[in-house]
A and B are shown apart, each in its own frame.
Chain A
Amino acid sequence: EPEVTQTPSHQVTQMGQEVILRCVPISNHLYFYWYRQILGQKVEFLVSFYNNEISEKSEIFDDQFSVERPDGSNFTLKIRSTKLEDSAMYFCASSNTGARPQHFGDGTRLSIL
């Protein structure tokens, strides 16, 4: 069964450094998403991406965050200057339409020191 793949599985970074989290969505899906889950808390929406542009973003997704689809398969989340509070699991998801089920990758655990 097709799946969303994310790399790396765990990223440890010093505060203030830039990180790029990578995702390969399911191949025939057109909508891509990033969510995060701080330990012990809810899964929170960050951003959705369709037709090579951001279609919706949350208040969490401030100027430090950016997304890109650099080629036909990858979808990336960049955090420019990481803060301690960015430590969380980051999940990439994809769906074939906006209202259909979103399928999640295994996540990247981001630890900011």
Chain B
Amino acid sequence: QKEVEQNSGPLSVPEGAIASLNCTYSDRGSQSFFWYRQYSGKSPELIMSIYSNGDKEDGRFTAQLNKASQYVSLLIRDSQPSDSATYLCAVNQGAQKLVFGQGTRLTINP
């Protein structure tokens, strides 16, 4: 089983600061990478997808991908208390299967 690794946290960030979440993966053949947000007791909600090396920005979120280092990250600018959740890194393995990391629990402190 190819793995996806995340620091489980908790990661505490003051309101208005930048939150930085990291993920590494072991399958060099992976081509599609996703960040999901999961509130306690709820389902994963897609935030970002990224397919090529570099940065991809969407509002306050920036995903970064480095395939050579097998590394994906998510930056959240101007963090809000509503951003407090568990952030799941997910990587396509093979044609369709998503492999998830254990998630990083993020807390934004007002």
Contact = CB atoms under 8 A, between A and B. Distances in A.
Interface of A: 31, 33, 35, 41-45, 48, 50, 55-56, 58, 89, 91, 95, 98-107
> Top 10 A-B pairs ranked by shortest CB distance?
A43-B100, A98-B96, A48-B96, A104-B43, A98-B95, A99-B32, A45-B97, A107-B43, A101-B49, A104-B44
Nearest to A97: B96
B100 A48 contact: no
B22 interface: no
Interface string B72-89: 000000000000000010
Most chain A CB within a 10 A radius of its CB, from B46, B51, B88, B96: B96
Contacts of B101: 42
Contacts, number: 60
A104 to B, nearest CB: 5
Given A43-B88, A99-B31, A101-B49, A91 B97 contact: no
A105 B102 CA distance: 19
A22 to B, nearest CB: 15
Given A42-B101, A104-B44, 20 more contacts: A33-B96, A35-B98, A42-B102, A42-B103, A48-B97, A50-B96, A56-B97, A91-B43, A95-B96, A98-B95, A98-B96, A99-B31, A99-B95, A100-B32, A100-B49, A101-B46, A102-B46, A105-B43, A106-B43, A107-B42
Nearest to B92: A99
A32 to B, nearest CB: 10
Contacts of A95: 96
Contacts of B100: 42-44
A50 B95 CA distance: 11
Interface string B41-65: 0111110010100000000000000
B34 interface: yes
Contact of B99 (A41, A45, A104, A106): A45
7 contacts: A33-B96, A58-B97, A89-B43, A103-B46, A105-B43, A107-B42, A107-B43
